[in-house]
Structure 1
């Protein structure tokens, strides 16, 4: 049922869904022209643009670290051991603070989710 207040036609809506299909399935930009893609944040950008990695023991640390690991690793990185996670983080130009946290992970364990990674670091969600 059409309400009449749609800004786009049904055909334009379908066209836009088709254009985004590759991005949604792959998890990264699929355009041949790189100038279309947003520029990633630089290492020296303020924390506001990237999201901070808080100091050990601060409130909300577990949630922030989990978010940052999830953003950098994605779903396809798991299951993985510490060396595999470090390799993926290096490939994706992860900030040094997050790599330093990943280096603290136990080497003899396989991780299946980002939550397992955060728990292995001894971080607990704020309550």
Structure 2
């Protein structure tokens, strides 16, 4: 199975980044571009559900939170609408002297091409995150 890791320094505390990851309104504000009119639902507890969707783009992703450690990270299953394959996403937050390092590990792709597509997607998402921090 193929996987990817994307990491980025963010100029905010882990507490602030955590809120941007787990507050549905904040998550929707940065996850996809504004033209997607993104909606998000998140029950931030182990066994809780995650749903990020865009009616204009005709896409969405659903997952189940499999691990959660407030202000340090979470893990979730990840299934795109209409796709039978389920992958796994782990997001870790590490305090740094001048902010937070966010590390996204996405595993379980059937091939390297799918993993490469998701590298671009995660980079795009994380590039928008500082705008809400």
Aligning the two structures, in what range does the TM-score lie when normalised by the shorter sequence?
under 0.3
User: Which structure: larger Rg?
Assistant: 1
Whose relative contact order is higher, 1 or 2, with alpha carbons under 8 Å and at least 6 apart?
A: 2
Q: Which structure's residues are more often strand, by fraction? A: 2
Superposition TM-score, scaled by structure 1 size: 0.25
Q: Which structure's residues are more often helix, by fraction? A: 1
